[in-house]
């Protein structure tokens, strides 16, 4: 699909060394004079160098005022920003979610206002809306907030900051809300997930009829760039693949993708009763109330739920149309992993 012309020849990306950021920088570098990219380490600078000479890395943290000053220094009027920096699975307790996801967003909005940014796209999540009340339900842009634990609460607060800044006229800003995403440049946790599915070790919690929206990173990048070019200020758009699938269908599709890549698949999906997910969620809630976070417990507690969104508004207003489905996207993920010697 042909993208709309970018509104600015200069794009600033926070979280540029992350999973989404690396995909976004690679796509944006091909059609921009400059892509200013905030990364956390010299290792990430080396990875981004492959995207092209238009990429200008800035090393630092989204909570570091000096790094943000360097990131926004000398930008031409009307430059665009994609704020993708966030913590999903904290390593320093629940407080880290709010420090980075809320505090970092506040600091980026302040620098964007002072720099005269033309358009800011804030990458949010499904988590501010919790889980669907039943499998046939789908979130849309009118759905009320109902955050799922600390991450959801932090991303809700970040969204509210963005909307308030847009309504004040501080910055022209839009929000995109992706669900569970997948694709090249994945972190190790996603590689472990693929390996567990291939080897028959990833469980179904309950009967597997709960549905999930997912989004291929290439589809998400398309949605972000379309929101930059055409989104209405102060508004939000759900960005996902074209079809939500049950957990049974998702795991079967991943196994089919392995087979299509010539890799044997062992076993199926071990079953856990839905009660196991309920117990895990209660444990997760108890830990987060005292500021602690356990990633495996959190993931297990959420696996029993349906999390589905409606992308109709993005299709109508942005011209968004997902081009890659789960089968092809997983094949690309597997090929990318194998090319880098990952054990699958």
Residue 82 lies in a domain: yes
At residue 2, the pLDDT reads 66
130: which 2 tokens? Answer: 């919790």
| Structure tokens that stand for 41 in this block | 């380490």
Q: Is residue 253 part of a domain?
A: no
205 is a domain residue: no
DSSP H/E element including 255:
helix 247-260
- Outline where 60-117 has alpha helix (H): 65-72, 95-98, 104-115
Residue 259 buriedness (CB in 10 A; 0-12 / 13-18 / 19+): exposed
Domain contains 150: yes
Tell me the per-residue pLDDT of 257-302, one tens digit each, with 9 for 90 and over: 999 999 999 988 999 999 999 999 999 999 999 999 999 999 999 9
Domain total in the chain: 1
Which tokens is 203 given? 């469980």
Q: Reply yes or no on whether the pLDDT at 1 is more than 70.
A: no
| CA–CA dist 147, 43 (Å, integer) | 34
In this structure, of 34-48, 103-117, 209-223, the range with the lowest mean pLDDT score is 34-48
Neighbours of 193 (CB within 10 A): 16
Q: 339: how many CB neighbours lie within 10 A of its CB?
A: 9
In contact, 61 and 100? CB cutoff 8 Å: no
User: pLDDT value at position 284?
Assistant: 98
CA 229, CA 242: separation in Å to the nearest integer?
21
263 lies in some domain: no
DSSP-derived secondary structure letter, 238: E
CA distance 266 to 112: 50
Q: What percent of the chain has pLDDT over 70?
A: 99
Reduced to 3 states (helix: H, G, I; strand: E, B; else coil), residue 163 is helix
94: in domain: yes
Report yes or no on 342 lying in a domain.
no
- Does the residue 334 lie in any domain? no
- Please state the rounded mean pLDDT for residues 128-133: 97
Alpha-carbon span 234 to 90, nearest angstrom:
28
- Residue 218, classed as helix, strand or coil, is helix
Residue-range definition of the domain harbouring residue 223: 10-185+213-242+307-323
Which pLDDT value is given to residue 22?
95
- Residue 81, beta-bridge partner list: 12, 120
Residue 318 belongs to domain with CATH number: 3.40.50.720
Is residue 200 predicted with pLDDT exceeding 70?
yes
Going by pLDDT thresholds of 50, 70 and 90, the confidence category of residue 6 is: confident
Percent of the chain clearing pLDDT 90 (strictly above): 92
- Whether the model clears a pTM of 0.95, i.e. scores above it, the answer is yes
Confidence of residue 339 (pLDDT cuts 50, 70, 90): very high
- Does residue 52 register a pLDDT over 90? no
Question: If you average pLDDT over residues 210-239, what whole number do you get?
Answer: 97
């Amino acid at each position: 699909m042909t993208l709309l012309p970018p509104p600015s020849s200069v794009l600033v990306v926070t979280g540029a060394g992350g999973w989404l950021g690396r995909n976004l920088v690679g796509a944006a570098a091909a059609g921009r004079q400059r892509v200013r990219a905030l990364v956390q380490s010299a290792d990430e600078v080396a990875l981004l160098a492959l995207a092209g000479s238009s990429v200008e890395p800035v090393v630092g943290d989204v909570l570091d005022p000096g790094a943000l000053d360097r990131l926004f220094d000398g930008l031409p009027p009307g430059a665009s920003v994609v704020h993708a920096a966030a913590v999903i699975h904290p390593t320093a307790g629940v407080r880290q979610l709010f420090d980075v996801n809320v505090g970092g967003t506040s600091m980026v909005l302040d620098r964007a206002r002072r720099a005269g940014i033309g358009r800011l796209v804030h990458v949010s999540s499904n988590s501010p809306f919790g889980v669907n009340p039943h499998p046939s339900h789908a979130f849309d842009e009118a759905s009320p907030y109902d955050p799922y634990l600390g991450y959801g609460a932090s991303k809700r607060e970040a969204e509210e900051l963005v909307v308030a800044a847009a309504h004040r006229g501080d910055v022209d800003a839009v929000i995109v809300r992706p669900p569970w995403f997948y694709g090249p440049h994945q972190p190790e946790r996603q590689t472990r997930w693929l390996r567990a599915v291939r080897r028959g070790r990833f469980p179904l919690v309950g009967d597997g009829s709960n549905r999930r929206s997912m989004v291929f990173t290439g589809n998400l990048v398309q949605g972000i760039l379309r929101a930059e070019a055409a989104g209405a200020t102060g508004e939000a758009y759900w960005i996902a693949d074209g079809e939500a699938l049950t957990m049974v269908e998702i795991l079967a599709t991943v196994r089919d993708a392995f087979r299509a890549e010539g890799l044997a698949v062992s076993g199926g999906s071990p079953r856990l009763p839905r009660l196991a997910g309920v117990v895990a969620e209660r444990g997760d809630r108890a830990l987060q109330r005292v500021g602690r976070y356990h990633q495996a417990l959190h993931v297990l507690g959420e696996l029993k739920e349906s999390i589905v969104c409606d992308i109709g508004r993005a299709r109508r207003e942005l011209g968004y149309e997902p081009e890659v489905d789960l089968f092809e996207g997983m094949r690309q993920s597997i090929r990318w992993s194998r090319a880098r010697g990952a054990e699958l």
